[in-house]
Structure formats: C-alpha cells, structure tokens
Structure 1
Amino acid sequence: MTALWIAVAALAILAIVEALAILALAREVGLLSRRLPAAPALESLEGMEPGATLPALRLADARSGRPSSPDLGSRPAVVLFMSTRCTLCADLLSELDGVVKDWPDHAIVPVLSGPAEEARAMLDRSRFAGQAWQDDGAAMRAVGIVTTPRAILVDTAGVVRSRGVVNNREMVSSLIQGRVRTGEGAVWVEGDSVSSAS
C-alpha cells in the first residue's frame, strides 16, 4: 500500500512540474509575440482592383436602421467590410476607435454585413463610438467581396488605392500607410499611402 501512495505522490509532483513548465512556455510565447512587429495587411485578391472607382453603396445606419450612405467628404476612406457572424470582425470593430484616433484625416467606414438586428447587436457589444453602416449583402457583392474582414482604401476621388485582409488595428494602419503583405510570406508590396493631400 505504501508503494501505491509513493507512486501517487510521484505522479502528483510530476503533474505539478509539467503544469509549471507549460505556464513558463506560455509566458515565453507571450513575451516573444510582444517583440514581433505588427504584421501589415495581407493582400487580397477579393474586391475591386486598385484604380477602379468605388460605386455608391446603398446601406443603412447600423444603429437606427434608416437608409444612409457614408459621407466621405474630402477625405480618403477605409471601407471595412465585416460580417455580423464573424468573431474576428467583432474584435476589429472594438478596435476602430483607436484607428479613428490614429488617422483623423481618414474616414473610417465600418460596413456590417448581415441582418439589421445582428448589426445593431454587434455594434452595441463593441466599444466603437463612431458611425457604422449595415449591409444586406448587396454592397459586398457590388465591390466583389465574399469573405470578411476585408478593407478597401479609397482616395478623395473615390478611386480604390489598395485592398487587403485586415484582422486588427495595426493591419488597418498598414493598409493606410501603403504596406501590404502578399500571400507568399516575406514579400512586401509597398504601395502609395493615401493622405488627405492627395
């Protein structure tokens, strides 16, 4: 019976040591990931080609449900297409106030694709204080986007300058700066950044 207790105690000690090792590895991975630079937006083959003109989008205000279209004024814009059923999109929507603060000379246009109730609920759950629009899917089809989250950068004339997959605030900023990563890995495409002066 003592041998059994010794074996149980040894296994318990081994389990505790393994748990501590796993925690140490998790901490190390976290520290390493904080040292990595933010990845730029991933080039997307979906959506309108750079050089094309963004069509007028028929949308609704995501909060009120009234028909509305984004007023871009004389600013370049990042039109972000997000699905109401996409967790990554919900996280990105929560980060957009930071993008608005980082890029005050750009219009940030979140378009939530899905039923109006889902768009309103997604917006209510997020921390985004700005205006957002709801799309029944027609706007996404009009610009050739199938999957989300996707972004299209347009200049003051409404001409598409860049497009990409954006999963977080840093990727949106990289798209605005003209840095887009191709699908082949370490290849970088440097585009023209779009400022309000263009």
Structure 2
Amino acid sequence: MSTLGIVIVAVCLIVTTVNLILTAVLFRQLGLMVMGSARGADDSGISIGRKLPALDLIDARTGADVDVHGLRRPQLVFFGSTTCHECAEIYPDIRYLEDHYDLRVVNFLFGSDLADVVSYAGARGVKGPVVVATEGLASAYDVDVSPFAFVVDERGLIVSKGLLNSRGRLIDMLAPVQRVEFDKEAVRENVA
C-alpha cells in the first residue's frame, strides 16, 4: 500500500473515532442512558392514557410494599441511575416538589446492587419510595432511557411521560396534574 493510501486510511479512522466520541458526548449531555433501543427518548414508556402495570414492588429502604395505583393523588414515577449525572441534577427539584406540593414520587433506581441504590437515595435526600430498578422492571414499564418519568393523575392514568433532565421539562410534564412554580430561593444544589 502506498504512503498516500496509509494516510487516507489513518485519516478515516481518526474521523470515525472523533465522530463516535462526539456522539457519545452529545448523548451524555442530553441526559440519555440508552438501554438498547433506537427509539426516541419520549417514545419510550407505556402510552399516555393507560395505567402502569400492577407489579409487586418493594421499597429498598423499608421493605414496605410500593403501590402505584389507587392513591387518589398525582404521582411522579421516576426512573434514574446511580451513575447518571443528569439524574442527580434533577433530584433537588424533585425534593422541592415533594416539600411544597401534594405529589408522591416513586423512584426506580438502577444501581450495581441494593446497597448502592440505598446509599445513592440517602445522599440525594430522596423522600419517596425507592425501588431497585431491573431490566425486567424497565421492560414492564417499557422504559429505554434515564432519567425518564411518568406523571400519573389521581385516577391512576398516565398523563405525561418522557425524558426528565431539566426543571423546565419537569414543570411541563406536571402541567396536566399540578401547576408548579419554583421560589426564587429554590436554587439548584451542587450535585457534583
């Protein structure tokens, strides 16, 4: 192979590598942890207007049963990961909502094990039930990405769903069940 051919192959490999790195960085910046799907983030999840499946769920911290049906009040069902920076960034806003609004948050957290999930939840000040997320649970809820959330109304129906990686997105998702405003003092905490 000629020197020119070797240079062309080398340039192609470098361009391909840079493209892959930039694509990975872009997905990370968007807060996406793709779990094996080519669908768009907001296409994940059980359809709006349906109920979440009735599954046997256990709170990892208390051992109590977790029911996502029949509560007669709005719920945010949040799928996050202990390794997801965007998930950690949204928790101060979720805690604010729990403190100031009649909203129950059920947290499904992917982690390396039970201790990892419980430790992460404690460090983030998670108040609602914490369920250790598994591939089986993600499949049952048809969730392919995190941070992802469902908003369930007082009838138990999904009224919104999608990628949840910003305060603005959280406000928009909750609009069908609760008008939400953040105080000027509700500043984001450092989650680094």
Category of TM-score, reference length = shorter chain: 0.5 to 0.7
Q: 1:67 offset after TM fit, Å?
A: 5.5
Once the 2 structures are TM-superposed, how far is the Cα of residue 52 of structure 1 from its aligned partner? 1.6
Determine what percentage of the aligned residue pairs are the same residue: 25
- Residue 69 of structure 1 corresponds to 66
What is the alpha-carbon distance in structure 1 between the residues aligned to residue 167 and residue 147 of structure 2?
A: 12
Distance in structure 2 (CA, Å) of the matches to 1:74 and 1:174: 21
CA contact (8 A) 2:66 2:129 kept: no
1:61-93 per-position Cα deviation (integer Å, ceiling 9, x unaligned) = 1324x2621366210211111122212112223
Matches within 5 A, 1:34-45: 44-45=42-43
Letter in 1 for 2:123: R
Structure 1 residue 46: Cα displacement: 0.4
Q: Which amino acid aligns with 1:109?
A: V
What is the TM-score with the length of structure 2 in the denominator? 0.62
Which of 130, 133, 136 is equivalent to 1:135? 133
Task: Tell me how far 1:96 sits from its aligned partner.
Answer: 1.8
Judging changes above 3 Å, is the alpha-carbon distance between structure 1 residues 71 and 159 closer, same or farther for their aligned structure 2 residues?
closer
Q: Which amino acid aligns with 2:130?
A: A
Describe the shift of the 1:101–1:53 C-alpha distance in structure 2 as closer, same or farther (beyond 3 A). Answer: same
- Counterpart residue number, 1:151: 149
| Structure 2 portions without partners, runs of 5+ | 1-39, 179-192
Deviation at residue 142 of structure 1 after TM alignment: 0.5
- Provide the secondary structure at the position in 2 that maps to 1:91: helix
Aligned length: 137
Aligned equivalent of 2:108: 111
Aligned equivalent of 2:119: 121
Give the whole-Å Cα distance in 2 for the aligned partners of 1:141 and 1:58. 15
* Corresponding letter in the other structure for 1:194: V
Deviation at 1:94, TM superposition (A): 3.8
- For residues 1-198 of structure 1, the aligned pairs below 5 Å read 44-64=42-62, 66=63, 68-70=65-67, 73-104=71-102, 106-114=103-111, 115-177=113-175, 193-194=176-177
Q: Distance in 1 between matches of 2:131 and 2:104?
A: 13
Query: What is the rounded CA distance, in whole Å, between the counterparts of 1:43 and 1:155 in structure 2?
Result: 21
Looking at structure 1, the residues matched to 96 and 156 of structure 2 have their Cα atoms a distance apart, in angstroms, of 24
1-side partners of 2:164 and 2:121: how far apart? 18
TM-score w.r.t. length of structure 1: 0.60
SS state of the match for residue 43, structure 2? coil
- Tell me which protein shows more strand as a share of its residues: 1
Give the aligned CA root-mean-square deviation in angstroms: 2.3
